[in-house]
Amino acid sequence: MEGLTFSEFTKRIYIKAPLGRVYRSWATGRDICTWFLREARYSDSLGRLRDPDEPLQTGDRYTWKWHNWDPEETGFVAHANGRDAVEFSFAGVSQVQVQMQEEEKGTLLTLRQYGIPTDEESKLTLHYGCSNGWTFWLANLKAYLEHGVLLHDTDIDMGRFPLAGFEFVNM
């Protein structure tokens, strides 16, 4: 198990969709809300709010809200190249890097979350919790782009369960 550590993890998935479509699913507020979020707001380095169809840019700030999760996520876009890579701060202390590579039958997406502290709480909430969460969300993105189907619930209050984020696979 060489190379595995609690300070980072990698998830990969093949998506039978053009690279540009996969990138756009991450890069605009409107598209990321179809498969992942309830609300996404991006603002440029001067604080001006981006249009929901305008691609995010390196240096942007973001505010994300989920359907079944009350906390709001805020952070910054460390890198967005307009083609095949996005990187953003996540969960306050870590980074998420999303790279896309055009393949013969679609796009290979690689997500890497790194910079995770290795204290016991971070191992549980960030490594274990985020790793499980990204597994579902990447499968949801694949289902949406390949078949037009969304797997997540948007109208059920799962937050009433104390361990909802660890027990529900579609959170």
Domain positions in the chain: 14-167
Residue in 96, 50, 52 with CA at minimum distance from that of residue 73: 96
The pLDDT value recorded for residue 7 is 98
Interacting residues of 76 by C-beta distance below 8 A, sequence separation 6+: 59, 60, 61, 62, 88, 89
How high is the pLDDT of residue 101? Answer: 98
Rg (alpha carbons) of the chain, rounded to whole number? 16
pLDDT of 67-124, one tens digit each? 988 889 999 999 999 999 999 999 999 999 999 999 999 999 999 999 999 999 999 9
Q: Is the pTM of this model over 0.85?
A: yes
- Residue 51 per-residue DSSP state: P
Name residue 4's amino acid. Answer: L
Number of helices and strands (H, E) in the chain? 5, 7
Alpha-carbon span 32 to 24, nearest angstrom: 8
Average of per-residue pLDDT across 130-136: 95
Q: What is the pLDDT of residue 167?
A: 84
Look up residue 143 and give its two tokens.
């289902």
Read off the pLDDT of residues 5-40 as tens digits, 9 standing for 90 and up.
Answer: 999 999 999 999 999 999 999 999 999 999 999 999
Which CATH architecture group holds 14-167? Answer: 2-Layer Sandwich (3.30)
